[in-house]
Structures are given as structure tokens and as C-alpha cells.
Amino acid sequence: QRRYALLSAQVRRERGARGGLGAALTRACFTFVKHYIVQRGVLDGAHGFVAAAAKAQETFWRYLAAGWDERSP
């Protein structure tokens, strides 16, 4: 999961997108809500919760990694 997030972050940086801790937390929360509530993952019970949490975690790592390399010397 983290490997794919890092690859996606690299693509985002090449396109000029930015990231960071604030963006990572915000996007991860919205991703969880989107997958758990909007796309009705709640109807799947624990499986839906785990799937939404995994997607939110991947989104968090992607945006954090995109911002991390911006600050690297």
C-alpha cells in the first residue's frame, strides 16, 4: 500500500501538485467519508470499514509523500 502511495506521489509531484501534513489529513478524512458513507461501505459492516480505512491510509501516505519531497534539500 505504501509503495503504491509513493509511486502516486511521484506522479503528483511531476504534475506540479503539492502535498503536506495538512493536505494529507484533510484528504484522508474526506476519502474515508467518501468510501464509507457516500459509496455505502457502511452497508458492508466491518469489511466496508476496513476497506475505507485502507483507502484513507493510502491517500494519507500519498499526500504526505508528495509534500515531503518538496521540503527536501
- Say what the pTM is: 0.77
Per-residue confidence (pLDDT) for residue 73, from 0 to 100 = 46
Mean pLDDT of the chain: 85
pLDDT tens digits, one per residue of 33-73? 999 999 999 999 999 999 999 999 989 988 888 887 555 54
3-state SS of the chain? CHHHHHHHHHHHHHCCCCCCHHHHHHHHHHHHHHHHHHCCHHHHCHHHHHHHHHHHHHHHHHHHHHHHCCCCC
